[in-house]
Structure 1
Amino acid sequence: MPSSSTTIISKCTVRPDQKSRIKPLRLSVSDLPMLSCQYIQKGVLLTAPPFSITHFVSLLRQSLSVALSHFPALAGRFSTDSDGHISILCNDTGVDFIHAKATFLSVNSLLSPIDVPDSFKEFFAFDRTISYTGHVRPLAAVQVTELADGVFVGCTVNHAVTDGTSFWHFFNTFAEITKGAKKISKVPDFSRDTVFDSPAVLKFPAGGPAVTFSGAVPLRERIFHFSREAILRMKFRANKGILKSDYYKSVNNEIIGKQSNDSWKTVNGEITSLFETLLKTNANRTDEISSFQSLCAQLWRSVTRARKLESGKTTTFRMAVNCRHRLEPRLSPYYFGNLIQSIPTVASVGELLSHDLGWGAERLHKNVVAHDNETVRRGVADWESNPRLFPLGNFDGASITMGSSPRFPMYDNDFGWGRPLAVRSGRANKFDGKISAFPGREGNGSVDLEVVLAPETMAGLENDLEFMEYVS
């Protein structure tokens, strides 16, 4: 990998092409804790456009201006009133737009290494910037980086303004407009009349908050790909304790009979169909563990084992959940802002590793199912009684934090000549145990996990046969 740095060719401010009519948006109970988090950095790797890069850069600037008219909050700034309430002023101040060049890099040189190359970190603006600085800095930025045989479009957004749902809503709309849409397909909802809108005030030290994790420790970052078939196998294993026992035994015997050389990697489409049939038979069960919960449980087990922790130590798997559909009445899926809460599941290392996959998966499942309207509202009330920042990090060396979601439409970003080759992120909010879930490029239920771990833990995970058996 060449060592040359990405070169900034130009930088400008892009403003909405129409004046905003949105009143100030007070930061909610879900927005405020993110003020100590770094800006979200996500982007897409594309093949080279079928026209000049100069034309593409100009096209992106124009479409970004139109997109900001639909998402005026991103073109504003934070303002704190005399009572301490922080709001987004939708004042059309604008966002940063950057054209960069890294033509010493090819698409293959970025995708072929086992670990995610550090080059991706240069494809985003506002590196290591915490969200509180949105008082004086733009709330968003777009950087297009020209490669030898492709382009990378990176988007950076203040985390106190958007969660993953809102981020990808904006990104999808940006791509949709660039492709030529005259009318956007999903209109954002800027209403603030929800239980998350609170008069509670979060107080900060002089100069604002600091990031809650260390950015100076060595880390490795790798993408692990899981096919639909591999995830079905995990789901099958996790659910075997609750599936109809007689049918499970018959299907399990048939699967064993069809294996070749005792290797799951030779499982064919016929066996995958058997998994699907069994799981569909039990699809109406409220106690069924989902595919993603099964994958999370496997990761939890394997990372915990790789860390070589004492059996009596407590390990935590923390998962962010979207609350839009959990509230009663439900909120719009296009609500713009943060509407997430964190669900921690805890177990002793000994308990987690001495039981089968289903044991940990069932605990994750029960916590997610239990996070209903009443639980969401209790979480809001608890925060209001003690306003605080979200403590992002791995403070005890035994935690895993799962972010993002394989349900996000990350590959629904056609800028005019096809779907992305890959989705990647920047340096933001990464620490030992930070995991992000992406959909696999082929879709159909496949998943990519962006795994960030201490180097020795990553090496242990790569040698964990139970985990690597499922990795493509």
Structure 2
Amino acid sequence: MPSSSITIVSKCTVYPDEKSNIKSLKLSVSDLPMLSCHYIQKGVLLTQPPSSTSFADLVSHLRTSLSATLHHFPALAGRFHTDPDGHVRILCNDAGVEFIQAKANHHFNIHNILPNLQDVHHCFKEFFAFDRTISYSGHSKPLAAVQVTELADGVFIGCSVNHAVTDGTSFWHFFNTFAEICKGGKIKISKSPDFSRDTVFDSPAVLKFPAGGPKVTFSGDEPLRERIFHFSREAILKMKFRANTGILKNNKLTATTNHEILGKQRNDSLKTVNGDLTLTAVLESLFKNNSNRTGEISSFQSLSAQVWRSVTRSRNLAPAKTTTFRMAVNCRHRLEPRLDPHYFGNAIQSIPTIATAEELLSRDLSWGAGLLHKNVVAHGDATVRRGVAGWESEPRLFPLGNFDGASITMGSSPRFPMYNNDFGWGRPLAVRSGKANKFDGKISAFPGREENGSVDLEVVLAPETMAALEDDFEFMQYVS
């Protein structure tokens, strides 16, 4: 994208409106591996604020609100420091975050940057600071930045945050709080972050780095395509039905209902079954009345299995080729005792599930979904602690990328409250991300804007794989 597509109007440093009471926070076993990852880049597209508010006034209000928000999240206004013993810490020294005001060219409006069923518009990559900045750079650079870009008929608020400081849960907690304060000017926020470090992730282990710091573990220069695929609530329930046919076999489905569920090609929520119930209602009733809830494969596991199958088929891999589906999971509720749900930092682990291409594609959806379900269910307290112990015995950076051409990495979550970011004039129209941490096979899950169980998948693939996926009927029949 040409650099002239946006104009930087101003840059400044925003400081917390009160001094931090926290001196420092040591990076944990879950934080340290992320030092070789790019900063997280996520943002929201909004309509223009009311005409009574000038853009200059809006920018001023956002700066003031950001300053107030940083008081509650002092870690983001700090910098990294490596102790003589090798431990990396966040010095909560109120050094501030970067704030950028930008203006897009006049032809960028909401209509032409949100095309339906097309690749993500290239302009979004320019709406974030710290492009491809590695998290280790937090020793000298701000740990967060906010860029506010004015469009012809809208506003994009993009946030870049060091990935060794936050995972997705903490990132959206900060973003939601920023919006909450901007909208209501609150002094007391609804959900305060928990900065405690007396957890299983706190460790004396030291991660050693090469001279000059670590590098990203993937190329970043390969040709890629990026699309948002939308899956309605009904489409996901249909996949969940296919994935759970084994445990639902004792339900008395009529032939008509079964035909509607398995044979319907379009996601028409108004379609009736037996003349009175929507297909969505029938499916929801089936799962509600299922007696084997423990063994039930979830909606997201079903969707993930479909992605795994279809991308693997689109890659045209050799039958014996081992494929990997890697899924990031939140460990806060998996530990005993549980971490505070608002624990601030990284509290994630990666669950890899493997199968050969032939195993995955010669069986039905329920087989692959069952593998994913089994691994997720097994990832409880003991598994989390084994993962921590394994890392302590061999400290290492997180190997982000697709090293064998047969891997998929699922990040983010449709459970994150991305559309709760009302800055005072309405909910976001869309959620988008920057260039950070993208490679062939990287997929990010967002909630659908309807927030009724629908999901948007941001899919990044090699161009030839994306073209094949767009022709994959089993996948595309669920896309709307």
In structure 2, relative to structure 1, the CA distance for the partners of 1:337 and 1:234 (3 Å cut) is same
Aligned ranges 1:72-111 → 2 under 5 Å: 72-104=74-106, 105-111=108-114
Deviation of 1:244 (Å): 3.8
| SS of aligned partner of 1:201 | coil
- 1:395 — aligned with what? 403
Deviation of 1:467 (Å): 0.2
In structure 2, relative to structure 1, the CA distance for the partners of 1:319 and 1:256 (3 Å cut) is same
Deviation of 1:242 (Å): 1.3
Structure 2: where are the runs of 5+ without partners?
Answer: 273-277
Matched-pair contact (CA < 8 Å) for 2:242–2:262 = no
Letter in 1 for 2:431: V
Matched-pair contact (CA < 8 Å) for 1:251–1:274 = no
In structure 2, relative to structure 1, the CA distance for the partners of 1:266 and 1:53 (3 Å cut) is closer
Letter in 2 for 1:206: A
The reply on whether 1:216 has 2:221 as its aligned counterpart is: yes
The reply on whether 1:193 has 2:198 as its aligned counterpart is: yes
In structure 2, relative to structure 1, the CA distance for the partners of 1:412 and 1:345 (3 Å cut) is same
Letter in 1 for 2:208: K
Deviation of 1:459 (Å): 0.3
For residues 203-256 of structure 1, what are the alpha-carbon distances to aligned partners after superposition, in whole Å with 9 as ceiling and x for unaligned?
000000000000111000000000000000000000001114342xx2454242
Matched-pair contact (CA < 8 Å) for 1:40–1:158 = yes
Matched-pair contact (CA < 8 Å) for 2:353–2:375 = yes
In structure 2, relative to structure 1, the CA distance for the partners of 1:463 and 1:72 (3 Å cut) is same
Aligned ranges 1:128-167 → 2 under 5 Å: 128-167=132-171
The reply on whether 1:302 has 2:304 as its aligned counterpart is: no
Show structure 1 runs of 4+ deviating over 3 A.
1-4, 257-260, 262-267
Deviation of 1:109 (Å): 1.1
| SS of aligned partner of 2:329 | strand
Aligned ranges 1:212-361 → 2 under 5 Å: 212-247=217-252, 250-251=253-254, 253-256=256-259, 263-266=265-268, 268=271, 270-282=278-290, 285-361=293-369
- 2:66 — aligned with what? 64
Letter in 2 for 1:438: F
Counterpart Cα distance in 1 of 2:152 and 2:230: 26
Letter in 2 for 1:64: L
Q: Which moved more, 1:357-366 or 1:106-115?
A: 106-115
Counterpart Cα distance in 1 of 2:31 and 2:170: 12
- 1:407 — aligned with what? 415
For residues 431-468 of structure 1, what are the alpha-carbon distances to aligned partners after superposition, in whole Å with 9 as ceiling and x for unaligned?
00000000000110000000000000000000000000
Letter in 2 for 1:43: G
Give the alignment partner of residue 177 of structure 2, picking from 173, 179, 182: 173
Letter in 1 for 2:219: S
Counterpart Cα distance in 1 of 2:115 and 2:235: 22
For residues 363-397 of structure 1, what are the alpha-carbon distances to aligned partners after superposition, in whole Å with 9 as ceiling and x for unaligned?
00000000000000000000000000000000000
- CA-based RMSD of the aligned residues comes to 1.5
Matched-pair contact (CA < 8 Å) for 2:305–2:372 = yes
Deviation of 1:101 (Å): 0.2
| SS of aligned partner of 1:154 | strand
- 2:42 — aligned with what? 42
Matched-pair contact (CA < 8 Å) for 1:314–1:398 = yes
Deviation of 1:112 (Å): 1.1
Counterpart Cα distance in 2 of 1:138 and 1:266: 47
In structure 2, relative to structure 1, the CA distance for the partners of 1:63 and 1:317 (3 Å cut) is same
Counterpart Cα distance in 2 of 1:3 and 1:169: 32
Counterpart Cα distance in 1 of 2:148 and 2:291: 44
Letter in 1 for 2:119: D
When the two structures are superposed, what TM-score results if normalisation uses the length of structure 2? 0.96
- 2:131 — aligned with what? 127
Counterpart Cα distance in 1 of 2:162 and 2:369: 33
Matched-pair contact (CA < 8 Å) for 1:259–1:266 = no
Counterpart Cα distance in 2 of 1:320 and 1:82: 32
Deviation of 1:263 (Å): 3.4
Letter in 1 for 2:181: I
Deviation of 1:72 (Å): 0.2
Counterpart Cα distance in 2 of 1:443 and 1:57: 29
Deviation of 1:198 (Å): 0.2
- 2:23 — aligned with what? 23
Matched-pair contact (CA < 8 Å) for 2:305–2:369 = yes
For residues 7-52 of structure 1, what are the alpha-carbon distances to aligned partners after superposition, in whole Å with 9 as ceiling and x for unaligned?
1000000000000011310000000000000000000000001111
Counterpart Cα distance in 2 of 1:153 and 1:283: 45
When the two structures are superposed, what TM-score results if normalisation uses the length of structure 1? 0.97
Matched-pair contact (CA < 8 Å) for 1:255–1:271 = no
The reply on whether 1:115 has 2:115 as its aligned counterpart is: no
Matched-pair contact (CA < 8 Å) for 2:127–2:156 = yes
Counterpart Cα distance in 2 of 1:254 and 1:404: 34
- 1:427 — aligned with what? 435
Letter in 2 for 1:245: N
Counterpart Cα distance in 1 of 2:315 and 2:330: 29
Counterpart Cα distance in 2 of 1:132 and 1:54: 34
Counterpart Cα distance in 2 of 1:257 and 1:293: 22
Identity %: 75
Matched-pair contact (CA < 8 Å) for 1:224–1:471 = yes
The reply on whether 1:207 has 2:215 as its aligned counterpart is: no
Structure 1: where are the runs of 5+ without partners?
Answer: none
Deviation of 1:138 (Å): 0.1
